[in-house]
């Protein structure tokens, strides 16, 4: 392994740790007042984020530490960590669901499915469907200049946003009712991020997955820190069992804001450095001169 490879993997691990820490903080901020703080639960996302980021870098060899590669990897690692942890909690983990208002395990009409075998089978099907959707994205052709086109980027973003929206509605709607604005929030965010990420990668697959990561980061930031007094849906109506965490959780906010600041500044640097040929293109054929004519 060359020195450059070692350096890029170290950078990838750091990016994954930052994305995992970002997730761990908003999760702790909302949940710790109800279920307490444990270092193991907090470190879970940090460790998983670092591991998936290294695996992603080994597979994709993103141009690290370039600003564009950093931004794409942050979104990819965020989405991968969220996907792994949520699939584990929903379909694999066995846990007493009575402490939740909205069950975290796979449920039908708000009633948790007790059979682990059924949950595993449904989970395998769910992962398979998501995998097929992402595989289909890899067959989307690039625009005439070898870069993602605006229309196709929007459609890819809309597709992955719809997956998030339907999954959230399946879990939350039986307890909270269907919320139209909440349902369309995810597709709108993934479309926006898909358009931005299309300027930093020529892969629709990377674009799609990273858009999921940034959608989760923005949506959870909005729900957690813009409405700090509103309990998370899964604990709605539940008592605050650890009131000391109302104060202790504030110590993590500066770190959370610092991660956002680093991401935003890096994204601005990456987008400003985009060369004109990589600007989003519409799917408009480029006219070619006829034979025998002068160019």
Q: What is the pLDDT of residue 63?
A: 92
Contact call for residues 25 and 248 (beta carbons, < 8 A) = no
**pLDDT tier for residue 178 given thresholds of 50, 70 and 90:** confident
Q: CA 6 to CA 287: how far, in whole Å?
A: 46
State what percent of residues in the chain have pLDDT above 70.
Answer: 88
Least confident of 6-15, 123-132, 221-230: 221-230
Least confident of 77-86, 178-187, 275-284: 275-284
Which of these, 88, 173, 83, 144, lies nearest to 278 by C-alpha position? 144
Q: What is the pLDDT of residue 175?
A: 65
- Helix, strand, coil % in the chain, rounded to nearest 5: 70, 0, 30
Task: Provide the whole-model pTM.
Answer: 0.86
Which of these, 72, 85, 84, lies nearest to 214 by C-alpha position? 72
Biggest CA-to-CA distance, the chain: 82
Collect all residues with Cβ–Cβ distance below 8 Å to 128 and sequence separation of at least 6. Answer: none
Contact call for residues 106 and 112 (beta carbons, < 8 A) = yes
State what percent of residues in the chain have pLDDT above 90.
Answer: 56
Determine the Cα angle at 46 with ends 42 and 52, to 5°: 140
Residue scoring higher pLDDT (97 or 65): 65
Instruction: Tell me: pLDDT of 38 over 70.
Output: yes
């Amino acid at each position: 392994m060359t020195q450059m490879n070692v350096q890029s993997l170290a950078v990838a691990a750091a990016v994954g740790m930052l994305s995992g820490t970002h997730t761990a903080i908003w999760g702790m901020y909302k949940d710790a007042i109800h279920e307490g703080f444990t270092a193991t639960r907090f470190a879970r996302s940090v460790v998983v984020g670092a591991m998936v980021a290294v695996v992603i870098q080994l597979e994709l060899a993103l141009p690290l530490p370039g600003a564009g590669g950093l931004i794409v990897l942050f979104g990819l690692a965020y989405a991968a960590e969220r996907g792994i942890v949520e699939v584990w909690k929903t379909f694999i983990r066995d846990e007493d669901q009575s402490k939740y208002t909205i069950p975290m395990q796979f449920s039908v009409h708000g009633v948790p499915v007790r059979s682990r075998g059924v949950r595993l089978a449904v989970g395998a099907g769910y992962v398979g469907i998501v995998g097929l959707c992402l595989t289909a994205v890899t067959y989307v052709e690039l625009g005439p200049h070898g870069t993602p086109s605006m229309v196709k980027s929007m459609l890819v973003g809309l597709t992955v946003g719809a997956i998030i929206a339907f999954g959230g509605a399946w879990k939350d709607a039986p307890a909270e009712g269907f919320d139209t604005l909440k349902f369309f929030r995810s597709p709108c965010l993934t479309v926006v991020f898909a358009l931005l990420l299309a300027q930093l990668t020529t892969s629709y697959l990377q674009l799609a997955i990273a858009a999921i990561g940034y959608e989760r980061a923005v949506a959870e930031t909005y729900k957690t820190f813009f409405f700090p007094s509103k309990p998370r849906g899964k604990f709605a109506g539940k008592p605050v069992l650890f009131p000391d965490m109302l104060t202790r959780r504030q110590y993590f906010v500066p770190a959370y804001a610092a991660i956002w600041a680093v991401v935003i500044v890096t994204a601005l640097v990456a987008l400003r450095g985009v060369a004109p040929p990589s600007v989003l293109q519409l799917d408009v054929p480029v006219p070619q001169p006829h034979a025998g004519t002068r160019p």
